[in-house]
């Protein structure tokens, strides 16, 4: 959520999350990046938790139709898709009310989920294994990607090259598939040549263009070259800041990296450039077994006219 205080005297505009001023012929534009609310799947809590983006305070939880929630997708229309591992289904919620809007895709043990460039849902599932595609109204388009030696897919994301990357929790590998047709391309991060990564869980490309992977069994975050897949370093060493069971990795607009700790029952925050531990969220909230996370998108800027008219501007 955005918290902003503004003072027109002396032409200054202050924000709790940073500021930028540009003046051109009487027009002053103030734009800042908010820290949006964070959604976290609590696998053992059977709920999705919503934390306020500035303070980390628990705002609400979504449950009732979840059991073993995993991947979260926000299509930007005020709804949320959640993959149910234990119920073997996908549930769509109204973000504002928490009402269940639809349940579909029954029959598969779902893990990670991402939104494709064409607006389809891509969901990794075990005991198949592979990645299936769904329309947002629940139509099953069938198996999209499988093979290449992948055995227990978990995290799934589209990379900067437009291809699909899938983490394997069984062997620590990351598999790459053609983003257009699902054809297997290569083992991007090779098991046994991954800097000691034993169990690849959630994954994400960072602001530096490199690939970050949560090592569940290692309780660490591993970094790989975003172009070649070569091991770079253990960006967050084992158990730094109490991290136990590193699952998903996401990057906030606040310059921090958020890592879910499945066994520590916390969200751990680190400096996104250095890996330095900052703090944790989630204590005393009932969050148990956090896995996947997603930020709730919000407007990022305002256009302020010198005449005093204030108009919102979306990024």
202-224 mean pLDDT: 97
Q: How much is the pTM?
A: 0.86
Regarding whether 122 and 193 lie in a shared domain, the answer is yes
Same structural domain, 12 and 56? no
Same-domain status, 17 and 79: no
Distance CA 52, CA 39 (A): 9
Q: What is the number of structural domains in the chain?
A: 2
pLDDT one-digit tens code per residue, 129-174: 999 999 999 999 999 999 999 999 999 999 999 999 999 999 999 9
Residues 65 and 202: their CA atoms lie apart, in Å, by: 23
Contact 95, 130 (CB under 8 A): no
| Residues 19, 40 within the same domain | no
User: pLDDT at position 34, please?
Assistant: 65
What is the domain-level CATH number for residue 140? Answer: 2.120.10.30
Instruction: Please give the residue range of the domain that contains residue 232.
Output: 35-294
Same domain? For 226 and 172 the reply is yes
Q: Minimal CA–CA distance to 177: which of 190, 162, 198?
A: 162
Q: How far apart are CA 109 and CA 176, in angstroms?
A: 21
Computed over its alpha carbons, how large is the radius of gyration of the chain? Answer: 20
Q: Is residue 60 located within the same domain as residue 40? A: yes
User: Closest by alpha carbon to 119, among 148, 95, 90, 139?
Assistant: 139
Same-domain pairing of 45 and 146: yes
Phi–psi pair at 106, nearest 5 degrees: -60, 140
> In angstroms, rounded to a whole number, what is the distance separating the alpha carbons of residues 277 and 256?
10
**Do residues 234 and 109 both lie within one domain?**
yes
- For CA atoms 253, 259, 260, 264, the dihedral sign is negative
């Amino acid at each position: 959520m955005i918290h902003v205080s503004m003072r027109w005297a002396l032409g200054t505009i202050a924000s709790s999350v940073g500021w930028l001023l540009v003046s051109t012929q009487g027009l002053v534009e103030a734009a800042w990046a908010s820290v949006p609310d964070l959604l976290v799947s609590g696998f053992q809590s059977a709920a999705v938790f919503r934390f306020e983006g500035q303070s980390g305070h628990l705002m609400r939880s979504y449950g009732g139709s979840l059991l073993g929630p995993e991947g979260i997708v926000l299509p930007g229309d005020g709804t949320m898709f959640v993959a149910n591992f234990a119920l073997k289904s996908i549930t769509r919620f109204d973000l504002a009310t928490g009402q269940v809007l639809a349940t579909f895709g029954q029959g598969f043990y779902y893990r990670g989920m991402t939104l494709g460039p064409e607006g389809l849902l891509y969901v990794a599932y075990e005991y198949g294994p592979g990645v299936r595609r769904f329309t947002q109204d629940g139509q099953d388009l069938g198996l999209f990607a499988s093979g290449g030696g992948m055995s227990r897919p978990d995290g799934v994301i589209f990379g900067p090259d437009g291809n699909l990357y899938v983490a394997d929790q069984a062997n620590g590998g990351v598999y790459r598939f053609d983003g257009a047709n699902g054809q297997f391309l290569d083992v991007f991060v090779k098991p046994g040549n991954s800097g000691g990564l034993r169990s690849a869980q959630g994954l994400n490309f960072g602001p530096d263009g490199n690939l970050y992977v949560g090592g569940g069994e290692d309780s660490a975050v591993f970094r790989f070259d975003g172009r070649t897949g070569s091991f770079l370093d253990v960006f967050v060493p084992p158990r730094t800041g109490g991290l136990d069971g590193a699952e998903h990795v996401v990057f906030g607009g606040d310059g921090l990296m958020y890592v879910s700790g499945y066994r520590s029952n916390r969200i751990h925050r680190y400096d996104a450039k250095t890996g330095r531990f900052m703090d944790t969220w989630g204590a005393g909230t009932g969050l148990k077994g956090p896995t996947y996370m997603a930020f709730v998108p919000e407007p990022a800027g305002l256009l302020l006219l010198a005449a005093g008219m204030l108009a919102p501007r979306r990024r």
